[in-house]
Amino acid sequence: MKAVLLAAGKGERLHPITETRPKPLVPILDKPLLLWHVENLQRVADELYVVVRSQDKEMVSSLLNGYNVHVIEQKDGIGGTATAFSSLPTMEDFILVYGDVFYNPSLLQKLANFDNAIVGKEVNNPSEFGVLSINDSFLLSIIEKPENPPSRLINAGIYKLSKQIFYYVDKISPSSRGEMEFTDVVNTAVKDGLKMEVIKYDDFWIDIGKPWHVIEANRLALERIETRIDGEIENNVIIKGKVVIEKGAVVKSGTYIEGPVYIGKNSVIGPHSYLREGTVMGSGTKAGASVEIKGSVIMEGTKVPHLSYVGDSVICEDVNLGAGTLIANLRFDENDVKMSIKGKMETSGRKKLGTIIGGHARTGINVTILPGVKIGSYARIYPGAIVNRDVQKGEFFKPWP
Amino acid sequence: MKAVLLAAGKGERLHPITETRPKPLVPILDKPLLLWHVENLQRVADELYVVVRSQDKEMVSSLLNGYNVHVIEQKDGIGGTATAFSSLPTMEDFILVYGDVFYNPSLLQKLANFDNAIVGKEVNNPSEFGVLSINDSFLLSIIEKPENPPSRLINAGIYKLSKQIFYYVDKISPSSRGEMEFTDVVNTAVKDGLKMEVIKYDDFWIDIGKPWHVIEANRLALERIETRIDGEIENNVIIKGKVVIEKGAVVKSGTYIEGPVYIGKNSVIGPHSYLREGTVMGSGTKAGASVEIKGSVIMEGTKVPHLSYVGDSVICEDVNLGAGTLIANLRFDENDVKMSIKGKMETSGRKKLGTIIGGHARTGINVTILPGVKIGSYARIYPGAIVNRDVQKGEFFKPWP
Amino acid sequence: MKAVLLAAGKGERLHPITETRPKPLVPILDKPLLLWHVENLQRVADELYVVVRSQDKEMVSSLLNGYNVHVIEQKDGIGGTATAFSSLPTMEDFILVYGDVFYNPSLLQKLANFDNAIVGKEVNNPSEFGVLSINDSFLLSIIEKPENPPSRLINAGIYKLSKQIFYYVDKISPSSRGEMEFTDVVNTAVKDGLKMEVIKYDDFWIDIGKPWHVIEANRLALERIETRIDGEIENNVIIKGKVVIEKGAVVKSGTYIEGPVYIGKNSVIGPHSYLREGTVMGSGTKAGASVEIKGSVIMEGTKVPHLSYVGDSVICEDVNLGAGTLIANLRFDENDVKMSIKGKMETSGRKKLGTIIGGHARTGINVTILPGVKIGSYARIYPGAIVNRDVQKGEFFKPWP
């Protein structure tokens, strides 16, 4: 069986995270989401096709060097779905997965037994997804972001498809965004009589569409780790709960860890750091003296060296936080924190949410960052500044108006 | 014998502490002053009368539920003294204590042996109190706040009285504030020939009239604790001096305590906290990572979670200090710190004094608070703000003018 | 043999360090440079002459009380060199050393064997020094700060001289600064045929001319310490590398030290301090809770009590840093840090350089100090201020314009 991964999303809603990396390279426990997909799919498929944007091809290919994967460049004007179908061998069954979802791969084994199937997941906010209209256990249609969803069961973005589906590909017109949508193919096929089983799935699942989903996807992965310590731990270190400490990492004396926590290879933690539940330190990161980090994803090479508090935040690669940089993660009114997504303020649905800082940014010492603020990649924040609005890519934010 | 406690003070000079609690509920070692009084008086009296303001009656009654105490509402226009006398049985001796004083109860046993007696305490600032004019060991008169005090011996607010005193109650006209003053009753009685012994007392005593007295009263109580540890202490905790750690409290690893320190029930201290002498943590409080607290009273439910320094301050109930909130407690010129009391700047007589923060207030991250500043209850301090003036109840203080 | 030390420099380029102490009293490992010189020279000379400024005489004499040293006041209008020659006995050989240099004294033994010799040291920036023009191993001339230096060998400021040199002293006219320059004497003598050997020296050497040289001289000394612990160390202290902890010092629990580090007598370190390589704590200093210090010289009596980061800085005597005072030591562009020297911006040649704070200064809480900024002695920095320019002696720097 084949497998195809649709990984050509632009990821603009994930800015500033995706200002410096393709969306498929968002890390979960310090490993790009794309690798999780590839490793998942290799369990059930003998050949993998990954559809990516032209500009991402080189980076993705390099990442997949050594893996048996076809990296396919999305063709201009036809979109990822059409590109995938034009590349796949037409005589075989295949599994198709959206590149943005993170899920339990044990699902795939079960899915492989069906001819045509779509995975459905119950969620609390179905209106934000494609909702499944079903009859018995069969799909009637996928309704995109309905105001009044017929159920809480949504399209998880994971399909098993037979070669029959190819018949419908040519029948579809491009959507309003000028691309063939895969859900249109499915809806057309089902309407035409193709029997598509709906597999209800109730294990972990997330669609990584907005910045805080990176925290949540990492949290899902963290909750499934088993303790493994391959790094070095000095005296007087307290570890509670489950932790992974990778090779080459050093946890210095006086550090206090409340798992689940992941510490990537060659990281330096401490002395006197306090890593709390939900923290993921990428490889080559540093959490220094009197630094507290909670519920946050710190990407590779980033340093939080002195006297900082980082809560419920994403700090991308190669960032340096000046001494005493503090991040607020709770509003005074304790309402859900809002964040600007593609220029529009959206609620995160989270009472606690800190900041999202893009790659290669630098904050000066004693910087104050308010909840829900985004700081662009390569930005510079002047020492002592109070960051109370989004900072653009490369902007130099100063404390005085 | 009966006992009466005059606890109907408004406590305006104790603002913002008394913005959210009656004056008698100011805590000493996490227990309301009123309970200290009741427990003291129960050693010598079989029946207790506590005179309170109407608006405090419910809260006081609820606190005294289970105690054998008459809670008496002060009657409008006649004041606490007249209310007390109109409620007391007239045929019995009684002990009368002002609700604002904190003292060693062993005194009461001795006092009970006299017919009529007043307790005198030598202080360095007699002009701020009622000064005792005496002849041998008998009272001549109590002179309120004299400019040139005849001695350093002042009225400690603790009396033993016989039923004879009732005779004089009706002879008194209301004072300029429209109430009968108990000292007028005493002065009239003594002038008329009543023999009132002056008991000189030289153990600890304080009149809790101004906010910093709450620090000092707690300090007096702290100096008398014996070490008792009923809470949980993790590894690598250093404890020096005397401490009380109540049940349900957890002291996390790396915490360093220099007693005398009191830690209330269900508090969480650490990791890496530094609690120094004179610190009282109320029940359900938190002192978190890299937090240092010295000579301060932190009331119930208040959180100081991250990277703060709190020195010589009072932080009332249910306050949250944002990460990195810092409190200065020393002027550059090292003069005594001043504080506004009912709108008038007064010296505290203390070289070191931080802030007084009212109940339910919130500070943002990285807030700077200057010595002697008061922050009202329910106030909000914007992240990064420099608080260099008093903040009103409910005010939202912003860093920019 | 005699020895003479020219220690009459004004040290203006070392401001603010020299605002409150004569240049010869700059400390290296908590001991004035002058004492290092005296102790070095006493190994080879039986009589010492130290030439100082009039205003420094009292302080220097008091420091040298108990040492067998002639403290000679520089005479007005003729400079240190002429003063030295007019004071020395003319019939004896002597060693002459500039008061600003710090070097390995084992050199002196070798030097003593020559009649006339000058020490040459290879450096990377010869244009900033007197460069030696030589023929075989003999000096041709010393060329002051040449644009195109003939070699990298410079005048180390250490000479062995025979009585012949006195002959040339009278032949010299004052230089443009109105004083006889010792290098003019040497150049004249050599030109006249005096044979002066050039001793190439390749051990440690530094000319302490600019503030950051104080860090570097201390670093050179630190690299040569052997571990010696005469102070008290509490439990749970981590020590790596070489340290000296003097008598009366206390290192409190949870402190983490990465040597080489020097801790002067009666200092208090910790709890939870982090002292990193290159730190010198003078006598009676304090590094408190959650304080990190790296590559810095903290002079006697100075307190860094709470939540500070101090990197690559010099903090003179009796300074108090308010809680949360943070010092930046790296520019965003990672270029070498610049500092104003006698009113002119100069590069330090250092990527990492923090601040120089003069004696008796005070910073408020939560103060932010930018790289390369100098703060004058007796200055006051208002709480919360961002110090982004030099602060004058005694100035009160406020956060608002």
- Interface check for B278 against chain A (CB to CB < 8 A): the answer is no
Sorting pLDDT into bands at 50, 70 and 90, what band is B111?
A: very high
Residues of B in contact with C386 (CB under 8 A): none
Write out chain A residues lying below 8 Å of B252, CB-based: 238, 256
The answer to whether the CB of C261 falls within 8 A of the CB of C243 is yes
Asked if B256 has any chain C CB less than 8 Å from its own CB, the reply is yes
pLDDT for position A80: 75
Q: Name which of B24-38, B62-76, B196-210 the model is least confident about.
A: B62-76
DSSP A283: T
User: What residues of chain A lie within 8 A of the CB of C292, using their CB?
Assistant: 288-290, 306-307, 323
DSSP state of A162: -
**Mean local confidence (pLDDT), C84-110:** 89
Give me the pLDDT at residue C401, please.
60
Within 13 Å and on the Cβ side, how many CA atoms surround B8? 27
Q: Identify the bridge partners of residue B163 per DSSP, sorted by sequence position.
A: none
Are C378 and C357 in contact by the 8 Å Cβ rule? The answer is: no
pLDDT at A401: 60
Domain of B57 in residue numbering reads as 2-209
Say yes or no: B166 and B261 in one domain: no
Q: Clarify whether residues B255 and B371 are in a common domain.
A: yes
Give the residue from B225, B294, B228, B291 showing the smallest Cα distance to B258.
B294
Q: Does C368 touch chain A (CB under 8 A)?
A: yes
Mean pLDDT by 10 residues, chain A (401 residues): 91 96 95 97 94 92 92 80 78 91 95 95 95 94 94 96 88 78 91 95 96 98 98 97 98 98 98 98 98 98 98 98 98 96 96 98 98 98 97 93 60
Domain check: are B40 and B145 in the same one? Answer: yes
pLDDT band at B169 (very low <50, low <70, confident <90, very high): confident
Which whole number is the average pLDDT over B244-265? 98
Nearest chain B residue to C399 by CA distance is B386
Looking at the fold, whether A253 and A127 belong to one and the same domain comes out as: no
* Residue count (chain C): 401
**Cα distances (Å, whole numbers) of residue C104 to C158, C201, C221:** 11, 10, 9
Number of domains in chain A: 2
pLDDT above 90 for B80: no
* Residue A198: per-residue pLDDT: 97
Q: How confident is the model at residue B90 (pLDDT cuts 50, 70, 90)?
A: confident
* Structure confidence at residue C209 as a pLDDT band (50, 70, 90): very high
Top-ranked range on mean pLDDT: pick from A221-230, C5-14, C71-80? A221-230
The residues near C373 (Cβ < 8 Å, ≥ 6 apart) are: C355, C387, C388, C389, C390, C391
What is the pLDDT, as a whole number, of residue B130?
95
pLDDT digits (tens, 9 = 90+) for B336-347: 999 999 999 999
Judgement on whether residues C297 and C152 belong to the same structural domain of the protein = no
Do residues A197 and A231 both lie within one domain? no
Closest partner CB to B384 (pick from A307, A309, A368) = A368
Q: Which of A236, A288, A384 sits opposite C368 (nearest CB)?
A: A384
Report chain A residues whose CB lies below 8 A from the CB of B307.
Answer: 290, 292, 307, 309, 324, 326
pLDDT above 70: residue B401: no
DSSP code, position B273 = -
A326, A330, A363, A388: which to substitute to probe chain B, counting the most B Cβ within 10 Å?
A326
CATH at A80:
3.90.550.10
User: How close does chain C come to A217, measured CA to CA in Å?
Assistant: 32
Query: C185 and C249 in one domain?
Result: no
- Name the pLDDT band for C82 (thresholds 50, 70, 90): confident
Question: At residue B64, does pLDDT exceed 90?
Answer: yes
Per-residue confidence (pLDDT) for residue C71, from 0 to 100: 94
Same domain flag for C187 and C332: no
The answer on pLDDT for C136 being more than 70 is yes
Closest among B293, B236, B289 to B263, alpha carbons compared: B293
Q: Which of C185, C209, C233 is the last residue of a domain?
A: C209
Do the Cβ atoms of B349 and B7 come closer than 8 Å? no
User: How would you classify the pairing of strands A138-144 and C27-28?
Assistant: unpaired
Instruction: Compute CA distances B324 → A325, A372, B307, C85, whole Å.
Output: 9, 19, 5, 60
What pLDDT shows up at residue C81?
A: 77
Instruction: Determine the angle formed by the axes of helices C33-41 and C54-63, rounding to 10 degrees.
Output: 70
B387/B359 same-domain check: yes
CB atoms within 10 A of CB B104: 14
> Among residues B149, B183, B209, which one ends one of the domains?
B209
Q: Which one of C193, C209, C225 terminates a domain?
A: C209
Pairing of strands A117-122, A69-73: unpaired
Report yes or no: C272 at the A interface, CB cutoff 8 Å: yes
Residues of C in contact with B236 (CB under 8 A): 236, 253-254
Residues of C with CB below 8 A from A362's CB?
A: 332
Do C132 and C274 reside in the same domain of the chain?
no
- Is C362's Cβ below 8 Å from some Cβ in A? no
| A195-209, B176-190, C14-28, C281-295: least confidently modelled range | B176-190
Residue B334's closest chain C neighbor by CA?
Answer: C362
Q: Is C253 on the interface with A (CB under 8 A)?
A: no
What integer is the mean pLDDT of B46-51? 93
Q: Do B25 and B160 share a domain, yes or no?
A: yes
User: To the nearest whole percent, how much of chain B has pLDDT over 70?
Assistant: 100
Average pLDDT, chain B: 94
Tokens of A113: 């037994």
At residue B105, does pLDDT exceed 80? Answer: yes
- Report the residue of A290, A368, A375, A397 to disrupt the C interface, i.e. the one with the largest count of C CBs within 10 Å: A290
* Chains touching A, CB cut-off 8 Å, 3+ pairs: B, C
Q: Do C327 and A365 touch (CB under 8 A)?
A: yes
Alpha carbon distance C259, C275 (integer Å): 8
pLDDT over threshold 70, residue B202: yes
**pLDDT band at C86, cuts 50/70/90?**
confident
Higher pLDDT, C90 or A67: A67
Pick the range with the lowest mean pLDDT from A115-124, B76-85, C120-129.
B76-85
On whether any CB of chain C is under 8 Å from the CB of B370, the answer is yes
Q: Residue C326: its chain A contacts at CB < 8 A?
A: 306-307, 322-324, 365-366, 383
CATH assignment at residue C279: 2.160.10.10
Record: contact B366-C366, CB cut-off 8 A = yes
| Chain A touched by B395 (CB under 8 Å) | no
CB of C271 less than 8 A from some CB of A: no
Question: How many CB atoms are located within 10 Å of the residue C275 CB?
Answer: 28
Q: Which residues of A touch B235 (CB under 8 A)?
A: 238
pLDDT surpasses 90 at C169: no
Mind listing the pLDDT tens digit for each residue in A93-115?
999 999 999 999 999 999 999 99
Same domain, C119 and C239: no
Judge whether C237 is closer than 8 Å to chain A, CB to CB. no
Helix (H, G, I), strand (E, B) or coil at A107: helix
pLDDT of B187 reads 94
- The predicted-structure confidence for C174-202, as pLDDT tens digits, reads as follows 777 777 788 999 999 999 999 999 999 99
- When CB atoms are compared, the residue of A274, A366, A370 closest to B272 is A274
Tell me: pLDDT of C56 over 80.
yes
Q: Is the predicted pLDDT of residue C302 greater than 70, yes or no?
A: yes
Rounded-to-integer distance, Cα B104 and Cα B121, Å = 12
Q: Which of A272, A288, A324 sits opposite C326 (nearest CB)?
A: A324
Selecting from C272, C324, C368 the residue whose C-beta is nearest the C-beta of A272 gives C272
Which chain C residues touch B296 with a CB distance below 8 Å? none
Question: Averaged over C140-168, what is the pLDDT?
Answer: 93
Query: Which residues of chain B neighbour C365 with C-beta distances below 8 Å?
Result: 309, 326-328, 368
The C-alpha of B289 sits at a distance from chain A's nearest C-alpha, in angstroms, of 7
